[in-house]
Structure 1
Amino acid sequence: MTTQTLPSASLIKRFAAMVYDSLLVMAVAMAYGAAYVSIKYAVFHTDLPTGERAKMGTEGFVGLILVVECFFWFFWCRGGQTLGMRAWRLQLRQTNGQFASLPQAMVRGLVAPISLALIGLGYWWRLWDKEGRTWHDIASHTQVVQLPKNKKS
């Protein structure tokens, strides 16, 4: 099934899926932070000055961004859905109906935060695009589509 046969996902459902996914991303970020700080201070015996909090530093922050990006890349390439997207029956696809490739997921993962950071302008663009695409849809040559409801027998 190509993306032309399925409707583009609405902004409300995209944002709802983002809320679900943000909860998962927070859990992943907390687990990463705990693991990183534990390794930094326990394994490498980095001294923590008295009264100072454990810090990840620049390298830890870069690692966190990479872990969050990998979270999305994995799900977009393997089934086209994060858990939040699955809850709202949304799926990321190429125009030919295939799931996103890793380079497409990477482009999408880099452009989507910019789309959101600019007061959501990259998302609001969907309202003017004839095909209902956001900036990151256009940049990655993918589209988030609304899947039909499953018919129960």
Structure 2
Amino acid sequence: MNSTPQYATPSLLRRFAAMVYDSLLLMAVSILYGAVTTGINVAINGTPTMGARISWGMWGWIVFAGWIVTIGFFFCYFWHKSGQTLGMKTWRMKIVNDSDLNTPDYSKCIIRCVIAPFSLLLFGIGYWLLYANPERQTLHDKISKTRTVLLEKDPKK
């Protein structure tokens, strides 16, 4: 007999609503990242002439990769720390290990972060698998050995 508590699984609508919240935070993080990298570029290469674009040269791909890593770090940090991003906290969801319901370690968070964008491909097929899977896990839940659970409402005080 399984002694771990059972939790409900959040619906796709709830998951997508949390994504919208998190996308607003990611926009702010992206703006900050862009400001810092642009500031570094201007400090090294000088201010471009009026109306000219900043030239990144061969560093453009590295700056882009750094931005992707920054976004990945955002998710991995919060998933490992508390199992929740701010959007997930608002919508009462949490990422836990599939086996023991604790917050996942960084390796599982990284796997989840790499696979989750593929779940969005083809009209979110990786998310729709939630309804075909008896354990109600998405593609990135299954591969990373994590699950997304719906937390109970806090009782009003």
TM-score (norm 1): 0.92
Residues 1:89 and 2:82 are matched in the alignment: no
Residues 1:115 and 2:119 are matched in the alignment: yes
Following the alignment from structure 1 to structure 2, what is the Cα–Cα distance between the partners of residues 140 and 46? 44
Following the alignment from structure 1 to structure 2, what is the Cα–Cα distance between the partners of residues 72 and 46? 34
Residue identity in the other structure for 2:28:
A
* CA RMSD between the two structures: 1.7
Following the alignment from structure 2 to structure 1, what is the Cα–Cα distance between the partners of residues 84 and 114? 17
TM-score (norm 2): 0.90
Q: Per-residue displacement from partner, 1:8-51 (whole Å, max 9, x unpaired)?
A: 11111100000000000010001000100111112x13563663
Aligned twin of 1:138 = 142
Q: Which runs of 4+ in 1 moved over 3 A?
A: 46-51
Following the alignment from structure 2 to structure 1, what is the Cα–Cα distance between the partners of residues 133 and 53? 47
Aligned pairs for 1:28-47 within 5 A = 28-42=29-43, 44-46=44-46
In 2, are the aligned partners of 1:19 and 1:84 still within 8 Å (CA)? Answer: yes
Q: Match for 1:74 among 70, 74, 77?
A: 77
Q: Does 1 or 2 have the higher relative contact order (CA < 8 Å, sep 6+)? A: 1
Q: Which structure 1 residue ranges, 5 or more long, are not aligned?
A: none
Instruction: Quote the sequence identity (%).
Output: 40
Aligned twin of 1:52 = 52
Post-superposition offset of 1:55 = 5.2
Following the alignment from structure 2 to structure 1, what is the Cα–Cα distance between the partners of residues 142 and 46? 45
Aligned twin of 1:16 = 17
Q: 1:12 to 1:31 in 2, by over 3 A?
A: same
In 2, are the aligned partners of 1:115 and 1:121 still within 8 Å (CA)? Answer: yes
